[in-house]
Amino acid sequence: MNKFTVIDMFSGCGGLSRGFIDAGFEVLLGVDIDTAALQTFEYNHKGAIGFKGNLFDKDIIQKIDKAIKHSKVDVIIGGPPCQGFSLTGKRQEDDERNRLFLSMVEAVKYFRPKAFILENVPSLATLYDGKVKDAILKEFGSLGYKINFKVLYAPDYGIPQIRKRIFFVGLLSGEDFAFPSPTTLPEHYLSCEQAISDLPSLEESIGKDIAEYQSLPQSDYQSSMRANSSTLLNHVGTSHTELVKSVIRQVPEGGNYRDLPEGVGESRKFNDAWTRYHSKKPARTIDTGHRNHFHYKWDRVPTVRESARLQSFPDDFKFFGNKTQQYRQVGNAVPPLLGYHLAKQLLGYLE
């Protein structure tokens, strides 16, 4: 049987589409403007095209169609840049990035897929009195799609990270989409320790891009992450100054800048500053930076691999670009495991 086909708009490194691959879909192409992210995408999505393109380009949809050789597209997925919508961004109503979702509307209009999934930050639903949400419902609805949306919480689906995202799912069949039920109860949420305790501490060195595991998996989650990987990729530490290390050392497990003695760590004072993960709880939301969160045990920021684990990227998923670019790719991604559960649920509406 032929697999259902997918194109991933605003693909980044391809977290959402990796979930679709794991669920049995065929990803044809990912489009983005970030060269390093596309290199990561192409390497990890065998056979898929990493297409560099500007989604403001009026001819972009035709270029995508030509790149995939006019193949049939069953599903279109994507997360338009959230800077315009995000609580951490400037939240300017006229930010042109807020309208990037219209290129996804044009793609859906052109390819007429059986379904689409649009992902974004939860605040999109209420921002500007709901104008963006209403525009999404109106534009896609006018194309004949029945749309349901819901905010999903990553720990509910076995992901060791506090992360909420809103998903809009549109079905051309006119059916209502029932979102996947949680797989994990709150008392069984995966913790940082269950996710990354098997990875080398890097106390003696900052590590290498390609290294060896030094211990066996210590949880079922670690076993599943390591299932297809014999070497350890992207586990490179950061060389902190003695001053920074001395500050980190004073932050208790699960604490942040508020727990520091007076006069210590004064250079950073905001919600996430000097946050140390808690070994027995999911991680804080992985963001695109890498300066404010610290390992629950070691006095350093998490490596790209540790951040990827907390995002549910399997260990055979290799990140390209410099370290800053790699961290950005991880932080911008939809957790692949969340994509997998959405994709598995979607299959029931396509077959």
What pLDDT is stored for residue 88 in this prediction? Answer: 43
Q: DSSP secondary structure string, 259-297? A: GSPTTSSTT--STTTTEEP-TTSPBPPP-S--SSEE-SS
Per-residue tokens: 108? 């859906």
- Active site members: 82
Partners of residue 32 on adjacent β-strands: 52
pLDDT, one tens digit for every residue, the chain (351 residues): 689 999 999 999 999 999 999 999 999 999 999 999 999 999 999 999 999 998 888 899 999 999 999 999 999 999 987 554 444 445 455 555 556 788 899 999 999 999 999 999 998 888 778 888 888 899 999 999 999 999 999 999 999 999 999 999 999 999 999 999 999 999 999 999 999 999 999 988 888 899 999 999 999 999 999 999 999 999 999 989 898 899 899 999 999 888 888 878 666 666 678 889 999 999 999 988 767 899 999 999 999 999 999 999 999 999 999 999 999 999 999 999 999 999 999 999 997
Per domain, the residue ranges of the chain are 5-182+332-350
> Which is it for the CA torsion 315, 115, 286, 267, positive or negative?
positive
Amino acid making up residue 235: H
- Looking at residue 18, its pLDDT comes to 98
Write the DSSP symbol of residue 251: S
CATH number for the segment(s) 5-182+332-350? 3.40.50.150
pLDDT in the model for residue 53 = 93
Q: At what angle do helices 101-111 and 127-141 cross, to 10 degrees?
A: 10
